Structure 1
Amino acid sequence: MKYEGMMLTDLDGTFLNANGKISQENIDALDFLGQHKIVRAACTGRTLNSAREVIAYDLPFDYLIFSSGAGICSFKDDYIICRHEIPQKYVLPLADYFLDKKLDFSVHFPIPDNHRFYWFSGAVPTSDLESRLFYLKEFAEKGSIEKLKKLSSTTQFLAISKNGTEIIQEMKQIFPELSVIRTTSPINPEFTWIEVFSKRVSKGHGAAWLCNHLGIKHNHTVSIGNDYNDMEMLEWTNDAYAVSNAPKDILARYKTAPHHNENGFAKAIYEWLSEGNRGEHTHRIITGRVNSGKTGSLAEDFKKQNLPIGNADGFACVKVRTADNIHIGYDLVRLTTAEKCEFIRKIQYLPKNWNEAERLNDNYSFCKEGFDFAKRIFAEAQINDVKHFYIDEVAHLESRGAGFSQLIKDCLNSGMKLTIVVRESLVEVVIKKYKIDKYRIINLNGMAME
């Protein structure tokens, strides 16, 4: 069968209601997707064994992405087509890290047995660990360093903390070769689960791998979720919905579907399949206050969209400082290669042989080589059939038809999905000037619009 698109849905809090049940409306929506030749993939943080406790084989899914993307299997027979593991060399350093933090954590066996695990506890076990050991006692075994030494690899570590955000940020610095994912505890929302996988593991990576494996066009993909471990999946797909029971900061970034107790999954699917919706580009506009992290947000988004490799290209505009930390201007940096080009300088810091193309209020000078550099990136992106292009940033020059004005028009006319950084005060001006009629605004101050 030639597939026309792909749908991915989280299970707990999204496809399942608060009682862990599946409504007939949601099942009917899955059948409807099948009639439209849309691949239906369940995408869950649960292990394969745990997922089968809530989704039976007779449901009309085609694939199951489990353990947050560590494994992918055919839905009807559990035949595993993709798996990822943490190499043994990271097992003891990770265990030492969590032991030093005095956190409860578990170390899960390789797929398909990753429902089995060794457990470790801090001085006083959390209620989350106690609950897991009560319900999963047949799969749990008290861990020790000696037992960990005998593991050839592991699927994941799962740690429990009330201070998850800070620990996750620290771990990303200490273990850059691994994937560290935040999940709200399904047992007690006061706790954060810190899940550690091999580098290429997330729901977004799983979605990208499956899409590429099946030869499905990225602009015919949609996902639905409700929690932080869904965000890479929601960012990767062309269209994305968050059910209304999701945290507010997630709802601010995506289209909102009704509550998971009100068949939000089914209603999102029917909206997506409605005439003129499926397959259309949704351009994205990143905005926010000065120094709110717009360029950093663009760079992080690029990493997610550039899956499979070659799916995205573009450039960021990064600050340039002297050795004594004086801000003197900006350089353009190509996102795919990190190639740099001088672009903007404050008038008092213009270098020799500067080839000025534009000037803004006698404060900043823009060089011709920077604009040529941006044009070359776009031209090569077209040759390479790139689907998603990034421009940083769109400001006063572009609002009056100068600067990157022609580049923006060319990108919009090319069929690429465009993500641009725009000054907060100029968002409405840019939307109207360039006639961007289908877009999502990501406001780093916490607002969002469609």
Structure 2
Amino acid sequence: MSRPRFRILALDVDGTLLDRFGALRTTTADAVTRAARAGIRPILCTGRRYRRARPIAELLGLDAPIVCNSGAIVKSPADHGTLWRADFEPSLAHALLDLFHAHDQLIVAFNDRRPDQADFRVSRHPSGRPLYDDYVDRNRAHAEAASDWTAEPLFHICAIGSRDDMLVFERIVLDAYSDQVRTFVQRSPQYKGTMCEVVRRDAGKWAAVLHVAELWGVAPEEICAVGDDVNDVSMIEGAGLGVAMGHAPPDVLAVADHVTGDHDGDGVAMLIERLLAGGVGPGRAVPEDSS
């Protein structure tokens, strides 16, 4: 059997592998298994914390490294070890913390710890801010109040509020540190609030995928990347084949080589079938019929 054209299949989780209800469809899981058997190695690339990403990998039977926290860290599910992490330099970390405080933004800062430990720190709880408290309430067992923000490395910090407020705060962050950080404003359907995420400038899903690809001796043109949101753009643009889900926003669709079906129409399964048949490659983005 000839080697497949693409050797890595980088898959976003929410809105890509999972449908709008957060469910992994059997047809999608079966398609991912077929890709792996054909020699295309699937890896998860998600905005989720490692604790929340690992169960999806287990459902799919994957033991590959997991790109978490919008590409700020790569974890090994075999031993929970960290393969790569984009820490802020101490001076930048202090400056960002000061900026959050100056603009009265409460902080969520993610930890790099084992799954049985708290995996994020918060400014305070309850805070009296419904959108912030909603996120913490839903993850209360895994949160802790911060006593010293810099006691552990900072690699992914967020503010939470309304979309309009987060877009304003994103502009403030970028006006001050656009040469040092990357930001994503997005909302998970699981939560009421919108997050303004801040990671190091050279972080992101594509940078993290490249670290895994280097470990495996895979070239960028041998990677197919699939996603549906703003933190997927870097890997969709960089991959040999960048694929957007059919329900992705216009700025994500615009950078894709190919557009597959939406997350409720088994878009990932549709793509994999075409990959295995050799029927899709770089070129103009054209939506598939998801009917």
Q: Which of 90, 93, 96 is 1:94 aligned to?
A: 96
| Cα distance in 1, alignment partners of residues 169 and 153 from structure 2 | 23
Whether the aligned pair in 2 keeps the contact of 1:177 and 1:198 (CA below 8 Å) is no
5 Å matches for 1:6-155?
A: 6-56=8-58, 59-60=61-62, 62-112=64-114, 115-120=119-124, 125-127=129-131, 129-143=132-146, 147-148=148-149, 151-155=151-155
Q: Is the 8 A contact 2:188 2:194 kept in 1?
A: no
Quote the residue 1:160 is aligned against.
Answer: 160
The separation in 1 between residues aligned to 2:52 and 2:191, in whole angstroms, is 20
Which shifted more, 202-211 or 251-260? 251-260
Quote the residue 1:253 is aligned against. Answer: 255
Q: 1:57 to 1:76 in 2, by over 3 A?
A: farther
How many residues are paired up? 280
TM-score normalised to the size of structure 1? 0.56
Instruction: Please say if 1:440 is aligned against 2:284.
Output: yes
Higher strand share: 1
> Are the aligned partners of 2:187 and 2:193 in contact in 1 as well (CA < 8 Å)?
yes
Query: How far apart are residue 167 of structure 1 and its match?
Result: 3.1
Structure 1 counterpart of 2:218: 216
For structure 2, which runs of at least 5 residues remain unmatched after alignment? none
Partner of 1:230: 232
Q: Distance in 1 between matches of 2:227 and 2:71?
A: 14
Select which of 264, 285, 288 maps to 2:267: 264
| Offset of residue 77 of structure 1 | 4.4
Residues 101-133 of structure 1 deviation map (CA, whole Å, 9 limit, x = unaligned): 222321223455672213258985142x11122
* Counterpart in the other structure of 1:244: 246
Does structure 2 retain, via aligned residues, the 8 Å contact 1:21–1:54?
no
1:358-408, Cα deviation, whole Å (9 max, x unpaired)? xxxxxxxxxxxxxxxxxxxxxxxxxxxxxxxxxxxxxxxxxxxxxxxxxxx
Match of 2:35, SS?
A: helix
Q: 1:191 Cα deviation (Å)?
A: 4.7
Q: Is the 8 A contact 1:108 1:114 kept in 2?
A: no
* Match in the other structure for 1:199: 201
Partner SS, residue 215 of structure 2: helix
Fraction of identical pairs, as percent: 19
The within-5 A match list for 1:412-423 is: none
Q: Which amino acid aligns with 2:22?
A: G
Q: Which amino acid aligns with 2:66?
A: L
SS at match of 1:91: helix
Whole-Å Cα distance in 1 between the matches of residues 79 and 273 of structure 2? 28
Q: Greater relative contact order (Cα 8 A, min sep 6): structure 1 or 2?
A: 2
Q: Is the 8 A contact 1:104 1:126 kept in 2?
A: no
Greater mean deviation of Cα atoms: 160-169 or 231-240: 160-169
Provide closer, same or farther for how the CA distance between residues 223 and 114 of structure 1 changes in structure 2, counting only shifts above 3 A.
Answer: farther
* One-letter amino acid of the counterpart of residue 148, structure 1: W
Whether contact under 8 Å (1:48, 1:66) holds in the other structure is yes
SS at match of 1:17: coil
What displacement does 1:86 show? 2.1
Equivalent position of 1:373 in the other structure: none
Letter of the 2:264 counterpart:
N
Tell me, what secondary structure is at the counterpart of 1:12? coil
Shift of 1:58: 5.6
Residues 268-293 of structure 1: CA distance to partner in whole angstroms, max 9, x if unpaired? 1222332253xx5x3xxxxxxxxxxx
- The 5-angstrom pairing of residues 384-395 of structure 1 reads none
Contact kept, 8 Å, 2:224 with 2:240, in 1: the verdict is yes
Q: CA deviation at 1:251?
A: 2.3
Per-residue CA deviation, residues 318-342 of structure 1 (Å, 9 max, x unaligned), is xxxxxxxxxxxxxxxxxxxxxxxxx
Work out whether residues 225 and 234 of structure 1, in 8 Å CA contact, stay in contact via their aligned partners in 2.
yes
- Which amino acid is 1:115 matched to? D
Note closer, same or farther for the CA distance 1:202–1:185 as it changes in structure 2 (3 Å cut): same
User: Structure 1 residue 228: deviation in Å?
Assistant: 0.7
Equivalent residue letter for 1:119: S
Mapped partners of 1:24, 1:123: distance in 2: 40
Tell me, which stretches of 5 or more residues in structure 1 are unaligned?
Answer: 283-438, 442-447
Matched AA of 2:284: R
TM superposition shift of 1:30 = 1.4
Alpha-carbon deviation of 1:243?
A: 1.4
1:354-373 equivalences in 2 (<5 Å) = none
Report the Cα distance in structure 1 between the residues aligned to 2:204 and 2:259, rounded to whole angstroms: 22
Q: Kindly state the Cα deviation for residue 16 of structure 1 after the two structures are TM-superposed.
A: 0.9
* Helix, strand or coil at the partner of 2:15: helix
- Equivalent position SS for 2:96: helix
Would the alpha carbon gap of residues 139 and 212 (structure 1) be closer, same or farther in structure 2, given more than 3 Å must change? same
8 A Cα contact 1:11 1:42, kept in partner: yes
Using the TM superposition, give the Cα deviation of residue 137 of structure 1 relative to its aligned residue in structure 2, in angstroms. Answer: 1.5
CA distance in structure 2 between the aligned counterparts of 1:16 and 1:216, rounded to whole angstroms: 26
- The structure with the larger Rg is 1
CA contact (8 A) 2:224 2:239 kept: yes
Which residue matches 1:186? Answer: 188
Deviation of residue 61 (structure 1)?
A: 5.3
The two structures, once aligned, show a CA RMSD in angstroms of 3.0
Alignment-mate amino acid for residue 104 of structure 1: L
